[in-house]
A = this chain, B = another copy of it.
Amino acid sequence: MRSPEALAQRFREANLKVTPQRMAVFEVLGTGPGHPAAEQIHRSVVEKLPNVSLRTVYQVLRELSELGELVMLDLGTGAVRYDHNLTQHHHLVCDECGAVVDIPAHLTEVQYAGVADLGVSVSTAELVMRGTCSPCHAAGSTTAESTKPSSQPTMQQLGDPHA
């Protein structure tokens, strides 16, 4: 993620005005955790700058992704997650809390040279893992299962389940 100032510069170069709303989104993205959904970003933004509409947040996020400064991730969690990690990496979706964890590419090995035989060409390849995140592991044997009898992956407190 580039600095709010760098993003502001990027917007000006694209003939997009640098408004306080946009700056607020830039700042929230820089400080917040990894993979927020639009609603969470909005919640953080209004703390700094009230009266910013959710509609505007969606709009700014889209602009950022169109400029390549943000990646929209659809990992089947119900809402798009916005990723400001621009390095090559993969993701793990926690079955218990819905968190999305970055998996640095160097911790994995992914090869798919053989697929050329199928006549397809690959432009991107991402590894999507499901499992349990580190904080849920820690809470796992103590209190976690008491609050979650055996239901579906809830993904409830999207903010930061472990804070």
A-side residues, CB < 8 A to B, are 74-76, 90, 92, 94-95, 101, 103, 106-112, 114-115, 117-134, 137-138
Q: Decide if B127 touches A112 in the complex (CB within 8 Å).
A: yes
Q: Least Cβ distance of A87 to chain B in Å?
A: 15
By a CB distance below 8 angstroms, the chain B residues around A137 are 119-121
Note all chain B residues with C-beta closer than 8 A to A109: 109-112
B103 touches A107 (CB 8 A): no
Q: Nearest chain B CB to A69's CB is how many angstroms away?
A: 19
Among A95, A117, A129, A130, the most chain B Cβ lie within 10 Å of the Cβ of A129
Number of copies: 2
Chain B residues, CB < 8 A from A101:
118, 120
- Give the chain B neighbours of A119 by CB distance below 8 A: 133-134, 137-138
In this complex, what residue of B is CB-closest to A72?
Answer: B76
Residues of B contacting A130 in the complex (Cβ-Cβ under 8 angstroms): 122-125
- Which B residue's beta carbon lies closest to that of A111? B109
Known: A107-B117, A108-B110, A115-B107. A122 touches B92 (CB 8 A): yes
The docked-state distance in angstroms from the alpha carbon of A107 to that of B113 is: 7
Q: Least Cβ distance of A121 to chain B in Å?
A: 5
CB of A53, distance to nearest CB on chain B (Å):
25
Enumerate chain B residues within 8 angstroms of A114, measured Cβ to Cβ.
106-108
A75 CB contacts on chain B under 8 angstroms:
76
Q: Say whether B127 contacts A126, CB under 8 Å.
A: yes
